[in-house]
Structure 1
Amino acid sequence: MTLPVFVDVDTGVDDAMALVYLFASREAEVVGIASTAGNVGVQQVCENNLGLLELCKVGDVPVSKGSEQPISTPLRTAEDTHGPEGMGYARLPRTDRQLTPYDAAEAWVRAARAHPGELVAVAAGPLTNLALALREEPALPKLLRRLVIMGGAFDYRGNTTPVAEWNISVDPEAAAEVFAVWGSAWGLAPPKHVPIVLGLNLTENIAMTPALLSRLAAEAESSSLPMSVLDDRGTRSVASNPLIAVLEDAMRFYFEFHFDQNEGYLAHLHDPLAAAVALDPDLVACRATTVDVELTGTLTKGMTIADWSNRWGREANALIGVGVNPELFFDRFVTRVGAFAKRLYS
């Protein structure tokens, strides 16, 4: 059975890897892409999404532009992490594809209404667009089959502040709105509509390495040279397969960033895990609880709090990812994306 999938991204290296995974998955039909300001500005995110559709030879998938700013805080971007255009050292092909005439919030609502009870949604960037969509259609939770959010850090350090994860930190007010609406929607929708939330405590277990990239190139039957921390910065891919070359050029920048952060010559694939879980929730173990977002703390703004002990006495509004098998994820990722790249450019 093919699942209609709607994706909200701030593309971004790992967002791009998530999109490619979905394009490569035969059970997924991507029916819309919402562009969110985050890793780079929203216009660049739009260009990246359109360029990826061109590179991957995907059909007419609607791409919509979201708000240029978070709901109430100034936009911060992360070119140091993802490169000046969000794709590391990679360059995407030019395309004549156009954005939709409607914005990303409306795109959420249109997709949900077009596929009531069937739509699988992935929110892999700041939650600005989703919060605005919920203002337009408060019944959105009961229209979705499943929602997976990549965001937060639960009993775990942050990657933007000591306690806050990037996606939540960019627009904490939007995240607070989303979790509040899902909490109030509990009586409207069955528990299956409670979002699956994958925080850094889970996604940082998904570490791409040069060895795994070499496996991906081999699966695609592409010529390639293994990456090494000893390579010159910015060394470009020599992969014969154009998709593998783009992924390698993007990932090299990401490797270098993580290395400079003293995390090793690797990169965490936060968003591809969210994409994979959207298609197969059994990839992760989850625990139901209530989640809220700190908005006023001087040192803790953007922190996600999970009420594991039910101190608040509120209904659970999230399923928090607490366990994952990285080997299983990467086996699936390498097999799917490698075969996809081979089909595209054999």
Structure 2
Amino acid sequence: MRKLVLMDHDGGVDDLLSQLLLLTMQEIELLGITVTPADCFIEPALESSYKLLQVTQKEHIPLGRGEYYGINAFPSEWRARPEVINALPMLINLPRAPDPYTYPAAVDLIVKKLMQASGTVQILLTGPCSNLVFALEKQPELKNKIAQVVWMAGAFDVPGNVQTYQHNGTAEWNAFWDPISTQKLVALQLPLVFVPLDVTNHVPVTKSFLSRLAAQLSYPLSHLAGQMWAMTIDTIPSYHYVYYMWDILATSFLLIPQAFTTKPVQVNVSTRPPNAGQTYVDEHGWTATRVTGVDIASFYEFILTQFKK
């Protein structure tokens, strides 16, 4: 029996690659995809999401439009990347995507799909967690339909990746965008798995990996993924950041959990400056699971294999 999964992403290059990766997983039934306007502008991000459904012939999977714009906005130059993705050679001439304002609200789609699900559902979050939190505030009983939440978020024993005013650099962006919802999600005491910067820092997007992917260009999804990853080389200037496989790593956890090591952790979240969005260990905090390591070679091989499908 296939695993039931709902995905919420926020439209960045890594998020869209993660959606593409998820669409290759035959072991998974993807019930729906919701998009948060965090690391994207919502209209082109929904277009990109739909185009990836077209490429994989899965247009039947419903999309939901996030209507909440968070507390701490991502930089605008990062948010514009879906516009470039929509112009890639493999995507630009696909049939026109629907009007983005015809999609249901993300919160409503999450509620609907959880209510209709024949069993418990895994939630994959590669952006902020706000839509899921709002859905569970609207229908608290749906907590029982959630088997696990896998969230690319947080930084525990390493510096964060937020560099902005009134912040000390301890937070990761997905948690920082809406620190209040981050704290609420942890407090819900769901089976929550953090895939934090501590482990994603070990899986950079390297030119050696891109070279191996380029050797697979006869496979259409490898070709498309290679085009998308090539965009990341200058997405974030290297003197500020390195581009990692943040969301791809979290997505892989759904199918190859045996390649990861985890441990339980007591977590708390700051909601105020100067460390808003910081996730930290607190003996009085809430229980969650933290990914602490990954078999890097197995992970990269898994990605290369999936994009041959």
Tell me if both proteins adopt one fold, taking TM over 0.5 as the criterion: yes
- In structure 2, give the amino acid aligned to 1:176: Q
Residues 263, 176 of structure 1: alpha-carbon distance in 2 compared, 3 angstrom cutoff: closer
Residues 139, 116 of structure 1: alpha-carbon distance in 2 compared, 3 angstrom cutoff: farther
Q: Counterpart of 2:3?
A: 3
Q: Counterpart of 1:85?
A: 83
How much has 1:82 moved relative to structure 2?
A: 6.5
Q: What pairs with 1:310-321 in structure 2 (closer than 5 Å)?
A: 310=283, 312=284, 314-316=285-287, 318-321=288-291
Q: Which runs of 5+ in 1 are unaligned?
A: 183-192, 223-240, 341-346
1:231-266 CA-partner distances (Å, limit 9, x unpaired): xxxxxxxxxx4x4443233222212245533656xx
Compare CA radii of gyration and give the structure with the larger one: 1
1:57-97 CA-partner distances (Å, limit 9, x unpaired): 22411001012412xx2533453487363749746334445
Q: Counterpart of 2:188?
A: 181
Is 1:132 aligned with 2:102? no
Q: What pairs with 1:1-346 in structure 2 (closer than 5 Å)?
A: 1-70=1-70, 73=71, 75-80=73-78, 83=81, 85=83, 87=85, 90=88, 92-93=91-92, 94-98=94-98, 101-115=103-117, 117-161=119-163, 162-182=169-189, 193-221=190-218, 241=220, 243-258=221-236, 260-261=238-239, 267-296=243-272, 298-307=273-282, 310=283, 312=284, 314-316=285-287, 318-337=288-307, 339-340=308-309
Q: Give the paired residue count.
A: 300
How much has 1:56 moved relative to structure 2?
A: 2.6
Q: Is the 8 A contact 2:39 2:78 kept in 1?
A: no
How much has 1:40 moved relative to structure 2?
A: 1.1
- In structure 1, give the amino acid aligned to 2:184: E
Q: Is the 8 A contact 1:10 1:37 kept in 2?
A: yes
Q: Which runs of 5+ in 2 are unaligned?
A: 164-168
Q: Which runs of 4+ in 1 moved over 6 A?
A: none
1:132-175 CA-partner distances (Å, limit 9, x unpaired): 11111223332112210111111111111311111111111111
Q: Is the 8 A contact 1:153 1:165 kept in 2?
A: yes
How much has 1:33 moved relative to structure 2?
A: 0.2
Residues 169, 23 of structure 1: alpha-carbon distance in 2 compared, 3 angstrom cutoff: same
1:1-41 CA-partner distances (Å, limit 9, x unpaired): 32121100011111111111111111112110001011112
- In structure 2, give the amino acid aligned to 1:75: A
Q: Pairwise CA RMSD of aligned residues? A: 2.4
Q: Is the 8 A contact 2:262 2:293 kept in 1?
A: yes
1:306-344 CA-partner distances (Å, limit 9, x unpaired): 22xx2x1x551x10111111111111110011x22xxxx
Q: Is the 8 A contact 2:21 2:251 kept in 1?
A: yes
**Sequence identity (%):** 25
* CA–CA separation in structure 2 for the residues paired with 1:262 and 1:112: 40
Residues 171, 87 of structure 1: alpha-carbon distance in 2 compared, 3 angstrom cutoff: farther
How much has 1:208 moved relative to structure 2?
A: 2.2
* CA–CA separation in structure 1 for the residues paired with 2:43 and 2:68: 8
